Amino acid sequence: MADKPHNAFAMAQAQFDGVAEQLNLDQATRQLLRNPLREYHFSIPVRMDDGSVTVFRGFRVQHNDARGPAKGGIRFHPQETVDTVRALSMWMTWKCAVVDIPLGGSKGGVVCDPHNLSAREQERICRGWVRQISREVGPLVDVPAPDVMTNAQHMLWMLDEFETIHRGHFPGFITGKPVGMGGSLGRTEATGFGVVFTIREALKELGLKPEATTASVQGFGNVSQYAIRLYQQLGGKVTCVSSWDQADQTSYSFRKKSGIDLDELLGMADHFGGIDKAKAKAKGYEVLPGDDWIAEEVDILIPAALENQIRGDNVGRIHQRVKLIAEGANGPTTPEADKVIQQRGIFVIPDFLANAGGVTCSYFEQVQSNMNYYWERDEVLGKLDIKMTAAYLAVSDLARKRKLYMRDAAYVIAINRVAQACKERGWI
């Protein structure tokens, strides 16, 4: 089965339309929610280290802010498109709503490849991005955060530029800042840990003990690394991870049937989560084609790299043994593949629920930044666990009661909350 060319926004809209139909939403609400409220496209001229100027394309899309200031990450990626940013902004709206935090959804990006940029060039892109959009974002309007290939350092450069323009300290402008500079303890691990909090609850529902399960993970970046850490602490065994190889411009899967050693692999990975093939081989890992992570004989699959990874053309490779898919990445499963997964009865923890730990902790960071009072790590992670578990249980409860697919149940809760907020404000 071949998929059409992937368009994440078309996919996000198709998912929305399906649930809008089930909810019998009125036409005005559908029109409002299936498109972003606002979007900004801009050029960022950057003086490169060799003296030349490169003009980068930047975006900020604010999908909906009826429930509170918009919130969403900034992605640096060479294949970034406005449709990807639109889709991600829409998913942010649903994500904040499903975990019931008082924020809306947005997303930003710059078309660039940090692999080929020096730190100073990346700093200039960050500052340039803020200069173009500084009037349309802010602690009470729209709050950015890191995403793929952006990190705490990028956030601090952006904050510094924003504070210079607005002449004051506004640590609530951006989240994912370094600890000690307005960041929250626990933010780095929040998304990966959040994925595993939901896996823990799902395994209880499936009657499985974590220590009796195995998992295969796509990606070896922020989300994946911390998901693996906590899953292993619960006793689970990860037998395969995959990552992008910048030199070969392709991905590889790294398998060790006796279980991967996270710290060992971290020692052979670059800043972008790319694993060194030769070093991995020397340590006894099998180096397999990038897509092979999906065919592993495991109980749990955790896609934690990018969107469009489980598709019509590879969904058939998912092993009979797989009982659970926890979507760490945003939009990893295409609608074609989703149908097959649903028919096979594989339990899915949908992306905007599974990976909501990041934004939940970002919300905690914003609260702490605005108070200028910072909590201990255990307090942050304890609050995160409570929020994620409550959100998971609300979705799985609805799924069971109404016999809904988990993704649809999560959408029903989220869309209802956002539609309600728009109605109560008198927008529709």
Nearer to ligand NAD, 20 or 361 (CB): 361
Q: Which of 13, 64, 243, 368 binds ligand NAD (CB under 6 A)?
A: 243
State the amino acid at position 148 in one-letter form.
V
Q: What are 149-155's contacts with CB under 8 Å, separation 24+?
A: 149/75, 149/76, 149/77, 149/114, 149/272, 150/73, 150/74, 150/75, 150/76, 150/176, 151/176, 152/176, 152/177, 152/178, 152/183, 152/188, 153/119, 153/178, 154/74, 154/76, 154/122, 154/126
Catalytic residues: 107
Please state the separation of Cα 247 from the chain's center in Å.
25
Q: Which of 8, 203, 329, 380 binds ligand NAD (CB under 6 A)?
A: 329
Is-contact 333 355, C-beta < 8 A? no
Minimum distance from residue 177 beta carbon to ligand NAD (Å): 13
Is residue 9 a contact residue for ligand NAD (CB under 6 A)? no
Return the axis-axis angle of helices 357-371 and 82-98, rounded to nearest 10°: 80
Which x/- pattern over 357-396 shows residues binding ligand NAD (rule: CB under 6 A)? -x--------------------------------------
Q: Where are the beta strands (DSSP E) in 270-353?
A: 286-289, 300-303, 324-326, 347-349
Is residue 149 a contact residue for ligand NAD (CB under 6 A)? yes
Whole-number Å distance between alpha carbons of 306 and 331: 7
Q: Which of 133, 174, 305, 421 binds ligand NAD (CB under 6 A)?
A: 305
Cα distances from 183 to residues 127, 152, 172, 213, 373, in angstroms, run: 19, 8, 10, 34, 11
Cα distances from 369 to residues 39, 150, 261, 383, in angstroms, run: 27, 20, 36, 16
Q: Which of 290, 353, 369, 384 binds ligand NAD (CB under 6 A)?
A: 290
Residue reference for tokens 């989560």: 273
Which residues between 128 and 147 bind ligand NAD (CB under 6 A)?
147
Minimum distance from residue 226 beta carbon to ligand NAD (Å): 9
Which residues between 112 and 131 bind ligand NAD (CB under 6 A)?
none
Minimum distance from residue 276 beta carbon to ligand NAD (Å): 12
Whole-number Å distance between alpha carbons of 396 and 377: 28
Whole-number Å distance between alpha carbons of 217 and 198: 16
Whole-number Å distance between alpha carbons of 392 and 169: 36
- Of the candidate spans 196-204, 241-249, 383-391, 401-409, the one that interacts with ligand NAD by CB under 6 A turns out to be 241-249
> SS3 of 245, please?
strand
Residue reference for tokens 């990606």: 219
Q: Which of 330, 334, 366, 396 binds ligand NAD (CB under 6 A)?
A: 330
Minimum distance from residue 392 beta carbon to ligand NAD (Å): 15
Which x/- pattern over 258-277 shows residues binding ligand NAD (rule: CB under 6 A)? --------------xxx---
Which x/- pattern over 402-421 shows residues binding ligand NAD (rule: CB under 6 A)? --------------------
Minimum distance from residue 88 beta carbon to ligand NAD (Å): 7
Helix/strand number for the chain, H first, E second: 14, 12
Which residues between 60 and 89 bind ligand NAD (CB under 6 A)?
none
Nearer to ligand NAD, 30 or 351 (CB): 351
Nearer to ligand NAD, 172 or 358 (CB): 358
Nearer to ligand NAD, 191 or 216 (CB): 191
Minimum distance from residue 53 beta carbon to ligand NAD (Å): 27
H/E element, 357 = helix 357-371
Minimum distance from residue 151 beta carbon to ligand NAD (Å): 8
Residues contributing to the site for ligand NAD (CB under 6 A)? 147-149, 191, 218-224, 242-244, 251, 272-274, 290, 304-306, 328-330, 355, 358
